[in-house]
Chain A
C-alpha cells in the first residue's frame, strides 16, 4: 500500500465537469474568467467566458469545493453578515466570526448537454441579513484554439434580457459568424449560428440585469433559505441542448437507464480480496478507468445503446479522434465490445470518399479528427474533417478483427469489412507511394499535421543528432500496424469465405515482416530504427516506437529478447514507464510531448507484446511501474502523459506534462491492456474459446474478473497466486458456452512443450 503523501493532478489550477460535448472549466474558486482556458465549452465553443458571483460587490469565500462525479460539482461558500468583520472574534474559535455567524452560499452544478445550476443561500447568522447577489457573466464564442489570444474568427454577438414567463427570465447570447474561404480545391462560405440561453427560474427573488450582471436583492430572517435555478441551454446551428438534470441531481445522474450507467452495470468488473499488496491500487485504477471511459462517451454519436464511441480526452479533445477511439476500444475490449462496435460504425461513416488535399483526404482513408469548434466549422483550418493520420487506417482492420475475436458474430462484423478493405487499399496505394513495400506519410495539405504516424507532434521524429526529420517518413510502428492489420484481417476473411483475398493479405503480411526485419534492424544497437527518412536511410534514434512492433508480432523471433531488454535499459525505462525517446538522445527532454515523456497508452500495448513472447518478468515490471504511477495521481487516473524523469532518490515522482488531458480515453483503456497481459487473456469467440495464461506477480496475488463476455457467454474467473508463486484460477460462474483453456501464447519464447501439455490437461479439471 501507498506510504507517501504524493498527490499529482494535471491542470491542478482548475475544476473540470463534462458530459458528451459540454465541458465547464473553472478556477479553484469555481469561477470562470481568471485563466485563459476557463469557460463553458460546448462543441469546443466557449459559451461562457466570464462567470463570477459577487455578494455586496465581494466574491464569497470558498470553503469546500469539489467534483462529485465527472459531470457534477458542488461548492460551499460562506459570508459574514454585511457590515461585520468576518475575521474578528478569535474567541469564537479559529474560524472566527464568519464561522459563528454564517451566511451559507452553496452552488451545485449538473452537466448533461446543457447545464443546470442551483444556488442555495441560508442564513445561519442568527440575525436578519440583507444583501445583493450579482452574477457576472459574458460569452465570447471563442474556439479552443483561440483562448490564448490570436483570435481568428469574429462574428456578431447580441445579448438580450427578457421575461419569458411569469416567473422565468432569459439572458440570451446570440453569435453569428461567416467565413469566405478558399483552401486548395475547397472553397465557399461557411456560417455558424451558436447561442446560449441562460434561464433564471424557480427563484425566491425577482432578478434584474444590467452591466452584464444578473442581480438579486435578498433579505433573510434567521434560518431562512433562498434558492434560484439557472438553466444554461446551448444552441448549436439551431439545435438546442437542454439540461438533462434538474435541482439536486447528484443521485439522478446515476440513473440506471442512462447509457453510461448501463455500460457500467453490464461491462466486466474487477475485485481483489488482497489488501496488503498493490492489489487495492490496481482495482481502484481499473474502476476509475471504467468510469472515465463511460464519462467520455459522445452520446450524439451513439449507434444504439450498446454501440458507442468516445471523446479522446478532457478538456481539449472533446471530439472524435480516429486512432484514439480505435486504440481505446481495442485496449478496453475486455469491458465489452460496445466501444468497438460504435467506433467502427462511426469511422466507417466518416471514411474518405474523394481526393481533397486540404483535408489530406483520399478514398478509403480513415478519419483522424473531427473538431466542432468555430475554427473548424468555419473552415479556417481543415480539422472539422481531417484525415492526416496513417495509423487510423491500419488500426481499423485490426479492430474489426478484434471485434470478431471477442464476439464471433459474422453479422456484426460484416458491415465493417468493406471499409476495412478500403483502408488497406488506401495504405497500399497512397501510403506506399514509391512502391518499395514500406508505408510512409507525406501531407498534401497547406495546413497540415506534419507527422502522421503514431507520434504526431511536429518535433517528434528526430535523427540521432537531434535534428527534426522531414517527411516522407516510414516509421517502424506504422509498418507493424499494417502487418498486424493484414495478418489478422486475412484470418477474418478466411472465416467469411473470402479465401483468395485472405491468402493475398497473409502473403503480403509475411513479406512485409521479412522486409521490415532486414531493413529496420540496427545490429550495432540491438534495436530497431525509429523509421526510414526520405532517402530511405535509417533514423537511428532509440525511441519507444519499436515497442509497438513487439506487440504486433512483426519482430523476428531472434530479435525479440534484445529489443525487449533495450526497452528496459535505464535510458528508456524511467522507472515509471518506457520513455518515448532515450534519455541519452541529444533531443531528449522529459517535458516534451514525444521526446522523452512517458505515455501510459504505449505501456499497455507494450505489456501485450511482452506477454505475447512469454517475457512475463518484463511485463510485470512495466505494469507495476504504471499502476504505481497511477496511484500518484488524483483518483488513480493516468493522465495523457507525464514527464520522463528517472525514478531515483532525486525524483520521488514525475512531473505533469503542461496541459495534459485527464481523463484521456487511451490512458484509461491502457490499464485493461495491462491486466489482459498479466492474465494472458486471448478470446477466440468463433470457437467459443477463451485462452488464458495468467502470471500474477507478487504485487497482485489475487484478482477476480467478473462478467467477462466472450461471444454469447459470460464468465467470472478468480485468479490467484499459489504458495509456490505460480498462478491458478477458479471459474466462479459461467453462463453460455465457453471453453476456458489454459495455454501459453503461441509465440512464447519461454514456454516448453511440457508446460503446454500440462496446461491443457489442467484446464480439463477446472
Chain B
C-alpha cells in the first residue's frame, strides 16, 4: 500500500459538524496533520480516534474558537505541535461550497481550454489543407 506523505497542517476551528468531519478525514487521508477544535469534545475525540485508526494524526485542542483567546490558543498549539499552520478552516461547509465552486470553475476552464485548443487545431488543419497545391493548378499551362 502506498501512503500519502504531506506533513502540511490544517486547523478545523469548528470540527463538530458532519462537513468538517468529512473534510478532516479527507485531509488526514492525504497525509495532513489535522488540528481539531469545536463545541463537543466527545465528537472531536471520536473523530480523532477514527483518524488515528485509519493511520492519520489528529490533535484536539480544547479551545473555543469563537473567542479571541480560543483562537490564539488554537493557533499556538497547532504551531507548537506541528510547526506551522498551512490551512485554517472556520466553516467546513463554506470550504466545501468553495471547493465545489472551485471545481466547477476548474471544469469550465478545462472545457473552455479544450474547445479553444480543438478550434485552434481545426483551423490549422483547414489552413494547411487550403495551402496544399491542387492537381488542377499544377496542370495549368502557362
Residue ranges of A at the interface with B (Cβ–Cβ < 8 Å): 526, 557-558, 561-562, 564-566, 568-570, 573, 575, 614-618, 620-621, 624, 647-649, 697-699, 749-750, 752
| A621 and B33 form a contact (CB under 8 A) | yes
B68 at the interface (CB under 8 A from A): no
Residues of B within 8 A of A624 (CB): 83
CB of B1 within 8 A of CB of A617, answer no
Question: Would you mind naming 22 contact pairs between A and B with Cβ atoms under 8 Å apart?
Answer: A526-B52, A561-B3, A561-B55, A562-B52, A565-B52, A565-B55, A565-B56, A565-B57, A569-B48, A570-B60, A575-B80, A575-B81, A617-B31, A621-B83, A647-B80, A648-B61, A648-B73, A649-B73, A699-B83, A749-B1, A749-B2, A749-B3
Q: Confirm or deny: B19 has a beta carbon within 8 angstroms of a beta carbon on chain A.
A: no
Q: Which residue of B lies closest to A561 (CB)?
A: B55
Contacts of B5 in A (CB 8 A): 614-617, 750
Residues of A within 8 A of B73 (CB): 648-649
Tally B residues with Cβ within 8 Å of A: 29
Q: How distant is A559 from chain B, measured CB to nearest CB, in Å?
A: 10
Q: How far is the CB of B61 from chain A (nearest CB, A)?
A: 8
Distance between Cα atoms of A350 and B24 in the complex (Å): 55
Q: Measured between alpha carbons, how far is A557 from B2 in the docked complex, in Å?
A: 11
Most buried by A among B3, B48, B56: B3
Query: Closest residue to A570 on the B side, CB-wise?
Result: B59
**List of B residues within 8 angstroms of A570 by Cβ:** 48, 59-60
A236, B22: Cα distance in complex, Å: 70
Residue B90 at the A interface, CB < 8 A? no
* Interface membership of B76, Cβ < 8 A: yes
Given contacts A561-B55, A565-B52, A749-B2, contact A648 B33 (CB under 8 A): no
Neighbour of A562 across the interface among B2, B4, B7, B55, CB < 8 A: B55
Tell me whether B64 is interfacial, beta carbon within 8 Å. Answer: no
A615-B5, A648-B77 provided; 20 other pairs, C-beta below 8 A? A561-B1, A561-B3, A561-B55, A562-B53, A562-B54, A565-B52, A569-B57, A569-B58, A575-B81, A614-B5, A615-B3, A617-B5, A618-B57, A647-B77, A647-B81, A648-B61, A648-B76, A648-B80, A649-B76, A697-B7
- What is the bound-complex CA distance between A750 and B3, given in angstroms? 5
Report the nearest A residue to B82, measured CB to CB: A621
Provide the residues of chain A in CB contact with B52, threshold 8 Å: 526, 562, 565-566, 569
Contact with A along B60-72 (1 / 0, CB 8 A): 1100000000000
A555 to B53: give the CA distance in the assembly, Å. 17
Cα distance, A621 to B58, chains bound together (Å): 13
Cα of A648 to Cα of B80 in the assembled complex, Å:
7
Please give me the residue from chain A that is nearest to B77 by CB atom.
A648
* Cα(A752)–Cα(B48), bound, Å: 29
0 or 1 for each of B3-34: is its CB under 8 Å from A? (1 = yes): 11111000000000000000000000001010
Residues on A with C-beta less than 8 A from B1 are 557-558, 561, 749
Bound Cα distance from A184 to B80, whole angstroms? 54
CB distance from B24 to the nearest CB of A (A): 14
Query: Is A649 a contact partner of B83 (Cβ separation < 8 A)?
Result: no
Q: Which of B6, B52, B60, B84 has the most CB of A within 10 A?
A: B52
Cβ contact within 8 Å between B31 and A698: no
List the A side residues contacting B61 at CB < 8 Å. 648
